[in-house]
A and B are shown apart, each in its own frame.
Chain A
Amino acid sequence: MNLEQLFKKAKEKNIEAIQAELSEAESLNFHVFNGEMDKHQIADTKKLKLKAIVNGKMGKFVTEDIDESKMDNWIDALLDSAKAVESEDEVFIYEGDSEYKDIDLFNESKLNKLSHEDKIQLVHDLEQKTKALDERIQISQSFYGESSSIVTLKNSKGLDLQKRVKNAVIGGDVVARNSDDSRNAFDFIQSNDPADFDLDSLAHNIVSRATALLGAKSLKSGRYNILLENRASASLLTGYLGMFKAENVQKGMSKLAGKVGQSVANEQISMVENPFMEKSSKSGGFDDEGVATQYKKVVDQGKLTTFFYDLKTAKKDNHAPTGNAFGGGISPTNFYIENGKDDVEKLIETMDEGLFVTSLQGIHSGTNAVSGDFSLQASGFLIKNGKIERPIALFTVAGNYLDLLNSVSTLGNDLKFSMNYIGSPTLKIDSMVVSGE
């Protein structure tokens, strides 16, 4: 791809600055259902994202039809796009930072040790292991997905960065059935090191999560103390990422506006963005604007220290950019609530009566990202006298996310990440509203 020629043509058309992001990706996926490989997918794709400043406005254009003979059309599209923009916000194409952290996200030697056949065998092995563990497992599916990408970011101001990432995920999904109930469970391991693929423990997790819930019934409505399991807490946090993004704060769409330096959560809570986490496909040394990423405690012992910024929002707040321009907006890389000290077993033992909520459903519709309110379908276990009494399902837990962060009394030591690299340990929370029967 001759980007120099594109930049030259852009200059001839009075484009002040232009940036190109070229992503080249390859992926491989296997899916095994009840002993048969029922899906196998390979892909090889390219995408070119262009942006250009014309008369102080940012024009954008995206294409997968990367045919260099069409460069003139791309430039026309950028000019048209910029012409339609009215926003008077200052826009930027970045010269670059003096230093970028160099992290090896390819880890090539390790994942490539597995042959095509090895990978297929892994998926079959996982599926057989889950099925063999318990006769109530009636349906089992397992999958392996692998992707590698090379992202090249270049602009007319001399920026020239490249990132290579390779990552894989292996997981399974089962349905357990007994005479009158049916429950499903899902779990996965994400890494670029096959040594992390501990299939026995993965299979055991998946199967026990499904069978333990068999026979789950609703419970009486009321207020209950809650143990919010790591994965449920991580998925709830996913619904509230917007609160921490500067664009929402600046538009009056975040309840955290004006709270930097103040306490927004219980002092035991620290929330970290770590772009340098090994083995995560979301890690990297720079964002989509070419700004160096940085490790930061967004909430440090309960206190809000910063929002996530891109160049435009940083300028507005007279703040340094934080390297969070991703996907055409603002996003964190790997973002998580830091571990506490206690084992989950201890958190259960020390609970007189309450609910161990192991799953929350409907995050995209049941959370109000602006007000912080939520009301979500949940399942898990009723705890009495420090012991699990019975499985429960088809109830809702409701509250406000900021109230929840303040009412956390203890944190577990079991940090777990979602597929999207949002993480949390198990949280013990005082009193939430529960609707059941």
Chain B
Amino acid sequence: MLAKQTLEKVINEALESQADFAEVFVEKTVQNSIAMQSGKIENAVTNEKFGVGVRVAKKHNAVYGYTNDADEASLVSLAKKLATSFEGNRVRETIKLPEMKSGNKHTVKRNPSDVDAKEKTSIVKKADAAARAYSEEIKQVNVSYLDSVQDVWIASSEDIYTNDQRVRTRLGVASVAKNDKDMQMGFNGPGASKGFEFYDEIDVDAAAQEASRIAVTMLHADEAPSATIPVVVDNGFGGVIFHEACGHSLEATSVAKNASVFSGKKGEKIGSELVTAIDDGTIDNAWGSQNFDDEGRPQQRRVLIKNGVLNTYMVDYLNGKRMNEASTGSSRRESYRYAPTSRMTNTYIDNGESTFEEIIAATDYGLYAKKMGGGSVQPSTGDFNFAVMEGYMIRDGKIAEPVKGATLVGTGKDALQKIDMVGNNLLRAQGMCGSLSGSIPTDVGQPTIRISNITVGGRKGSA
């Protein structure tokens, strides 16, 4: 990519000022996406991203610039421009970059760039056919295929020079079930940090049928009630509750500015002792994994909450300076178009002791949220909301009729304390997380858990 001398020159030019930190992020990404609608391949698009981001900082105050113009002269001029924010005598010695570190622990057997377009479209067609065959009530199926190879080179004044390749693969199936009364949608989107071999390892038909199963089930569902009741949230994508309600509030992005409900709470009990929560960016081939974070530091496994006690935040280098804490390797960004900040990777509540059956049997009346949709949170208050994609009422310790249209609202602090049962069936699921530094792939996850009571907003009204 860019010559080491060029990177050094740009960094040193930026440091001809009172700045004490300079970094260059070079990215080349090739994404292939295929969209199938109405049973026909509608689009097959290759998208090439190529650009450079330069970040210069004095303490925690940063200036960031990015461009597609990667020749040395224009990068040096960008660095000079950025450095004008910190005019004054140089504070850092001349930077010499170390040897470049690289290496991919997330083995890729078939790089998507070596796979024929025909083979890719055949997976899309297979998924489409399986989703349609599930039921006559399935009237529309949209299948999206994505592969992405992101190459990054990161060099900074902190003795960092790394290269990382992130290969990702994902299949999305959205099914619409329809009758004369209603239309409902179901979605399933498995993905991994893998190449095309992913499709040898998953059951494409089953993954597609899962989307149709949800849509058909919800087509015949009653409206959810409006009430504050116990809610059992199932494993897998159910982990979005922790991601939204607590995860974002544990990112240095909000903690460092004292803008999080969990600011200053390290070592304190913030949740039920049944809860141990982990953010692990090192899991082999997981959707949210990286070898290095987007500041070039090795990814880590972080135990965020241990038996209800706040153990660590997710910290990036600059927010760490504000907090007097070291980076936890948590810095991420969508692309060179974003300055990085602390973000989640693969975040989950760890296994507990209860079985799924025990949790349902212990609940007289409540909601069983089998599949969650998305949600959002306001980190300063911890107020969250998220949609239940597939829900059922629980009556007398048994799963009863399906219900649609439920939204759960609450505060992260409160919900974390009200987790009163944790299952032993941990499962992760894939999602895209949007925040300050763009949209990034993350895994959410958990075993089945029960929240003793939470507000369920449905359209049926109170019973």
A residues in contact (CB < 8 Å) with B: 33-34, 36-47, 58-66, 77, 80-81, 83-88, 138-139, 141, 175, 182-184, 218, 221-223, 251-253, 255, 361-362, 364-366, 368, 370-371, 373, 375-377, 379, 393-400, 433-437
Contacts and interface: CB of A to CB of B under 8 A. Distances in A.
B257 interface: yes
A223 B387 CA distance: 21
Interface in B57-96: 60-69, 78, 81-82, 85
A376 B407 CA distance: 7
Contacts of A252: 139-140, 176, 178
A397 B457 CA distance: 7
A184 B378 contact: yes
Overall SS of chain B's interface = strand
Contact of B409 (A64, A183, A368, A395): A395
Interface in B167-195: 176, 178, 182-185
Contacts of A397: 457
B150 interface: no
Given A44-B65, A253-B176, A362-B375, 4 more contacts: A80-B44, A365-B375, A370-B184, A396-B409
Contacts of B47: 61-63
22 contacts: A37-B61, A39-B64, A40-B63, A43-B66, A44-B65, A44-B78, A45-B337, A61-B47, A64-B49, A85-B41, A139-B380, A184-B378, A361-B378, A362-B385, A368-B405, A371-B183, A373-B404, A375-B387, A398-B459, A433-B459, A434-B226, A435-B409
A394 B409 contact: yes
Contacts of A85: 41-44
Contacts of A434: 226, 457
Which of A80, A366, A393 counts the most chain B CB atoms within 10 A? Answer: A366
A303 B350 CA distance: 54
B6 interface: no
Contacts of B37: 87, 251
Interface string B356-380: 0000000000000000011110101
Contacts of A362: 374-376, 385-387, 407
A222 B226 CA distance: 8
A394 B383 contact: yes
A182 B228 CA distance: 23
A65 B50 CA distance: 6
Overall SS of chain A's interface = strand
B397 interface: no
A33 B456 contact: no
Contact of A365 (B68, B81, B261, B386): B386
Contacts of A371: 182-184
A184 B66 contact: no
B374 A42 contact: no
A312 to B, nearest CB: 10
B408 to A, nearest CB: 9
A182 B380 contact: yes
A127 B426 CA distance: 45
A424 to B, nearest CB: 20
Contacts of A44: 65-69, 78
B40 interface: yes
Contact of A61 (B45, B62, B81): B45
A84 B51 contact: no
A318 to B, nearest CB: 19
A48 to B, nearest CB: 9
A184 B380 contact: yes
Contacts of B66: 41, 43-45
B185 A365 contact: no
B384 to A, nearest CB: 8
B252 to A, nearest CB: 13
A66 B378 CA distance: 40
B73 to A, nearest CB: 14
A397 B385 CA distance: 12
Nearest to A369: B185
Given A38-B62, A80-B117, A368 B185 contact: yes
Contacts of B259: 139, 175
A433 B139 CA distance: 30
Given A66-B68, A81-B44, A86-B41, A370 B457 contact: no
Contacts of A396: 226, 385, 407, 409, 455, 457
A253 B339 CA distance: 38
B48 A62 contact: yes
B455 A394 contact: yes
A51 to B, nearest CB: 9
A45 to B, nearest CB: 5
Given A184-B380, A375-B458, A88 B117 contact: no
Nearest to B461: A433
